[in-house]
Structure 1
Amino acid sequence: MRQDIKEHMDVIGADGVHVGTVDRVEENRIKLTRKDSGEGSHRGHHHYVPLALVAEVEGDRLRLSANADVAVSMEEEGDGSPA
């Protein structure tokens, strides 16, 4: 499934809510684009979602196994610390 993940795919939670947009896959994480980085101190840099959360790739969408609010709570910074 990792090989099916492409740049600019929409990342959506199991509940259908937008989580972010794929920048690329790095090791065991999906790097999200900066435009999906959030607000305040989180704004303007990349966040990462664990590949383990990927449920399926359907067309140009990557669906996660967790709802969007849970997936966002599991996002990491570039150094692996919680977002």
Structure 2
Amino acid sequence: MAQADKIKEHMEVKSSDGEHVGTVDRVEGSDRIKLTKSDAGAHAGHHHFIPLDWVDHVDAHVHLSKTSKDVSANWQHGHS
């Protein structure tokens, strides 16, 4: 996955509608991004995971192909 090597810790993650949905903690495994716990708004204290398949492109930010509503409705929750 060509996009994964461009994703770095602390990059901002933006939805397709331009909303901030999180900050990269790290790329985990070969298929998902782990977001920081402290940057999850109402969901703070829990890590959230988003599939790399959702990444549209990477520049100074990680841009997703899903809207913020779709992201928050479908991301995976974790406590690690």
Q: What band does the TM-score fall into relative to the shorter chain? A: 0.7 to 0.9
Divergent runs of 4+, >6 A: none
Identity over aligned pairs, percent: 47
In 2, Cα distance between equivalents of 1:7 and 1:53: 17
What 5-or-longer segments of structure 1 have no aligned partner?
none
Structure 2 length-normalised TM: 0.86
State the 1:78 CA deviation. 2.7
Partner of 1:13: 15
Give 1:23-34 correspondences, 5 Å limit. Answer: 23-27=25-29, 28-34=31-37
Check whether the contact 2:34–2:47 (CA below 8 A) recurs between aligned residues.
Answer: yes
Q: Residue in 2 aligned with 1:76?
A: 76
Structure-1-length-normalised TM-score = 0.83
Match of 2:40 in 1: 37
- In 1, are the aligned partners of 2:21 and 2:40 still within 8 Å (CA)? no
Aligned-residue RMSD, C-alpha: 1.4
Q: Does 1:52 align with 2:48?
A: no
Residues 12-57 of structure 1, C-alpha deviation per residue, up to 9 Å, x if partnerless? 0011000000000002110000112343xx4312111111100000
Deviation of the 1:77 alpha carbon: 1.7
